[in-house]
């Protein structure tokens, strides 16, 4: 009973305070407190996450399961970053507390943590992100197959937008005079019409639906109508 009721009450109170604070500035202090509690909770939960990471990877190594070497690399990297981050080697002294080593700043590459972040993590992240270009190409290839009316419309729209984005669009349609009624068929104007009229109206319709869905979901959770995200039971 308590396992459901107490989280439910906390959820309802927090939700109502956050809504109230949006309309009543005098209660912003309460919402700041709620957000502060969440941050504390997230900080504590991070220990759980780190513990889980250790447990899963140690188990994988000890059982010599397939890919255990990757688990070992993960743990070694985790340990190294933990030591480097907590040790704060090379941290830039804090102007307010120059004698306190732990108050130093690790953002710059002068610190070991900053160096690893800048020269190891960032390139790895950028590599993963760069792969997106290939995925976009393969997804576009599949999406733009003219299978039915909708696909043909999608293909045609994409073709116009792509054409208007490159010099070929201007090269092919610049001969159309700008001051005539049919000037809208110029590539750059067609692109503007598609983006500002069709795309914007569609996007706004989706956004209105999202806003209403968010409100209804919040209400279901705050009033306890939907408890599936809560405790056992």
Nearer to another protein by C-beta: 88 or 227? 227
Positions touching another protein (CB under 8 A) are 19, 22-29, 35, 38, 41-42, 45-50, 52-53, 56, 66-67, 121, 124-125, 128-129, 131-132, 135-136, 138-140, 142-143, 203, 206-210, 212-221, 223, 225-226, 228-233
Tell me how far apart the alpha carbons of residues 169 and 164 are, in angstroms, rounded to a whole number: 5
Phi, then psi, of 90 in degrees rounded to 5: 75, 10
In this structure, what token pair is assigned to residue 14?
Answer: 């927090």
Q: In whole angstroms, how close is the CB of 173 to another protein at the nearest point?
A: 26
Nearer to another protein by C-beta: 29 or 167? 29
Neighbouring C-beta atoms of residue 171, cutoff 10 Å: 11
Which residues, other chains included, contact 83 with Cβ-Cβ below 8 Å and sequence gap of 6+? none
Nearer to another protein by C-beta: 136 or 185? 136
Neighbouring C-beta atoms of residue 12, cutoff 10 Å: 14
Instruction: Please state, in angstroms and as integers, the Cα–Cα distance from residue 205 to each residue in 38, 90, 132, following that order.
Output: 32, 52, 28
Instruction: Please state, in angstroms and as integers, the Cα–Cα distance from residue 142 to each residue in 132, 134, 149, 152, following that order.
Output: 15, 13, 15, 12
Tell me how far apart the alpha carbons of residues 205 and 199 are, in angstroms, rounded to a whole number: 10
Q: In whole angstroms, how close is the CB of 134 to another protein at the nearest point?
A: 9
Nearer to another protein by C-beta: 34 or 103? 34
Nearer to another protein by C-beta: 185 or 195? 195
For residues 221, 224, 227, 230, the Cα torsion angle rounded to the nearest 10 degrees is 80
Nearer to another protein by C-beta: 54 or 193? 54
Q: In whole angstroms, how close is the CB of 188 to another protein at the nearest point?
A: 22
Q: In whole angstroms, how close is the CB of 167 to another protein at the nearest point?
A: 25
Q: In whole angstroms, how close is the CB of 172 to another protein at the nearest point?
A: 26
Q: In whole angstroms, how close is the CB of 158 to another protein at the nearest point?
A: 10
């Amino acid at each position: 009973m308590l396992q459901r009721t107490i989280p439910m009450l906390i959820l309802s109170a927090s939700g109502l305070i956050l809504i109230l604070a949006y309309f009543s500035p005098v209660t912003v202090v309460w919402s700041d407190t709620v957000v502060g509690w969440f941050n504390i909770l997230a900080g504590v939960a991070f220990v759980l996450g780190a513990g889980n990471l250790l447990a899963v990877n140690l188990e994988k190594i000890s059982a010599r399961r397939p890919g255990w070497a990757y688990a070992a690399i993960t743990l070694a990297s985790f340990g190294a970053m933990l030591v480097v981050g907590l040790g704060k080697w090379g941290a830039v002294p804090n102007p307010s507390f120059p004698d306190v080593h732990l108050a130093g700043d690790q953002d710059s590459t002068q610190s070991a943590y900053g160096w690893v972040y800048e020269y190891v993590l960032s390139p790895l992240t950028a590599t993963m992100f760069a792969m997106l270009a290939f995925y976009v190409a393969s997804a576009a290839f599949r999406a733009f197959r003219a299978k039915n009316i909708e696909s043909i419309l999608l293909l045609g729209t994409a073709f116009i937008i792509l054409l208007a984005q490159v010099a070929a669009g201007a090269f092919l349609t610049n001969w159309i005079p700008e001051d005539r009624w049919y000037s809208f068929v110029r590539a750059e104007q067609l692109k503007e019409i598609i983006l500002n009229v069709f795309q914007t109206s569609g996007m706004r319709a989706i956004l209105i639906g999202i806003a209403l869905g968010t409100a209804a979901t919040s209400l279901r959770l705050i009033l306890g109508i939907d408890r599936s995200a809560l405790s056992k039971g």
